[in-house]
Amino acid sequence: MKKVLIGLIAILLLFVFGSAANRWDAAHNRGYEFGYWGRFNRFQNALEQMPDVKILDSGWNKKSTIDQFGFRVQIAGERQIKLWFHEGDPVLDLSGEELSTALRQKIEESLSPDYPEQVATAQGSRSLEGAEDIMELFAVSRDGVRVHYTLKGRGEVALVFVHGWLGGAHWWQAQEVCFSPEHRVVRIDLAGHGTSGKERRDWSAQGYADDIQAVLKRIHAESFVLVGHSMSGAYVLEAARTAPQVRAVVLVDTLKDLDQVMTLQQAEDGMLRHYRSDYRQAIENLLPQFLFVPTTPEAIRTQLQNEFLAVDPEHAIAVLEPLYKMDLQGLARQTKIPVRAINSDATPTNLENNLKYFQDFEYVTIAGTGHYPMLEKPDEFNRLLGQILRDLGL
């Protein structure tokens, strides 16, 4: 009987101390900095530092070898939401400002009327095959407009891709898949485009540069390469001018002859007046003469024309006009870093003229594409961009 009693006491003590140890592990593990509980602590600390967020309780996987934990939080003393994180979520590797930004973004999304009630996860978008680790984030530009961007991959060098007129981050999906294994890949929706805010009152080149810089401030990387297509070639140059971490700029089928820049009046006479008088006719019949070549895939033609036609004509004009108000020659003279270009052969590139303004300019050509080489021939475009990065030691 005595032995049985001693055994029962031992089991009871084991249960009590085991439960206490588990509670300490889960709720009082402040000493852990690495592994499962280190990640749990980072997330808990980041949430606790948000003045409008209160942690009500937390949950975790009993097998702490599996990354799975979550928190139920109260926002501004009102709505309660759940933040749950699973093994493989890209945010698990974040810390500091990047982690706080990711958590804040998910909280903000959960407060949207269109967001599923009571649920917010920090998982990435799964809309693109093979892109499970994409993070969908927002930065805030200088004028308060929200700027959407995606982040995928790791590496000391971040490649920042910026679309052209009426485009979006989705234009760079093939580049993200190609380069994210060795680089951080950032794709931006400029204000007025994609899922970024459209409430800007004063559309300007500086505003677009502010959008890019707002995103750069959110990305922890040793250096950046800015890749700008069409109108955004000018805007990445403007953003790079006051961003010392930018090591190089890659222009995509833009600024091909700086002695032949178009003024606002020329743009009005040649393009904008057609948009104002009959936008659909201009998109369907006029623009294809300048944007596409006979070998442009029909699917790309259809995709782009449908995207353009989905935009209000006045908005389409407003977001384009700032390009033709810029002093592009002066901007090129101020650019001290290497500038490389990947251009279609549909129109010529004048190396001699561009070297009058850029200190360090080189270009390569893709044959048989129109104005969208990254969409029309993505594999060749990626090969050329990869070679540019290697030549620059990036």
What six digits make up the tokens of 63? Answer: 């097998």
> For the segment 146-177, what is each residue's pLDDT rounded down to a tens digit?
999 998 988 899 999 999 999 999 999 999 99
Q: Write the CB contacts of 235 (distance below 8 Å, at least 6 apart in sequence).
A: 162, 190, 205, 208, 209, 212, 228
pLDDT band at 123 (very low <50, low <70, confident <90, very high): very low
pLDDT reported for residue 69: 73
Range 299-323 average pLDDT? 96
pLDDT band at 33 (very low <50, low <70, confident <90, very high): low
Q: Looking at the predicted structure, is the pLDDT value of residue 9 above 80?
A: no
User: How many Å apart are CA 339 and CA 373, to the nearest integer?
Assistant: 18
- For 341, left (φ over 0), alpha (ψ -120 to 50), or beta? beta
Q: Looking at the predicted structure, is the pLDDT value of residue 196 above 50?
A: yes
| pTM given for the model | 0.70
CA-CA-CA-CA torsion sign (161, 150, 181, 216): positive
> For the segment 349-368, what is each residue's pLDDT rounded down to a tens digit?
999 999 999 999 999 999 99
pLDDT reported for residue 67: 52
Range 195-223 average pLDDT? 93
Query: What average pLDDT does the chain have?
Result: 84
pLDDT reported for residue 27: 38
User: How many Å apart are CA 153 and CA 172, to the nearest integer?
Assistant: 14
Range 306-311 average pLDDT? 96
All domains of the chain, ordered by start, with CATH? Answer: 24-119 (no CATH), 132-391 (3.40.50.1820)
pLDDT reported for residue 198: 94
pLDDT band at 112 (very low <50, low <70, confident <90, very high): low
User: How many Å apart are CA 324 and CA 316, to the nearest integer?
Assistant: 14
pLDDT band at 93 (very low <50, low <70, confident <90, very high): confident
For 249, phi then psi, to 5°, come to: -125, 140
Residue scoring higher pLDDT (139 or 264): 264
pLDDT reported for residue 133: 55
pLDDT reported for residue 23: 37
Distances (CA, A) of 264 to 80, 167, 308, 317, 323: 51, 21, 21, 12, 8
Q: Which of 112, 139, 391 is nearest to 250 (CA)?
A: 391
Burial class, 376, CB count within 10 angstroms (exposed 0-12 / middle 13-18 / buried 19+): buried
Percent of the chain at pLDDT > 70 equals 79
pLDDT band at 43 (very low <50, low <70, confident <90, very high): confident
Q: Looking at the predicted structure, is the pLDDT value of residue 25 above 80?
A: no
Q: Looking at the predicted structure, is the pLDDT value of residue 65 above 60?
A: no
Q: Which of 391, 277, 274 is nearest to 342 (CA)?
A: 391
Q: Which of 338, 341, 328 is nearest to 260 (CA)?
A: 328
pLDDT band at 134 (very low <50, low <70, confident <90, very high): low
User: How many Å apart are CA 314 and CA 336, to the nearest integer?
Assistant: 36
Q: Lowest mean pLDDT of 36-40, 183-187, 309-313, 343-347, name the range.
A: 36-40
| Pairing state between β 157-162 and 223-229 | parallel
Residue scoring higher pLDDT (383 or 18): 383
Range 67-79 average pLDDT? 73
CB 191 within 8 A of CB 207: yes
Q: Lowest mean pLDDT of 8-17, 92-101, 198-207, name the range.
A: 8-17
pLDDT reported for residue 110: 67
pLDDT band at 81 (very low <50, low <70, confident <90, very high): confident
> For the segment 321-339, what is each residue's pLDDT rounded down to a tens digit?
999 999 999 999 999 999 9
Range 279-287 average pLDDT? 95
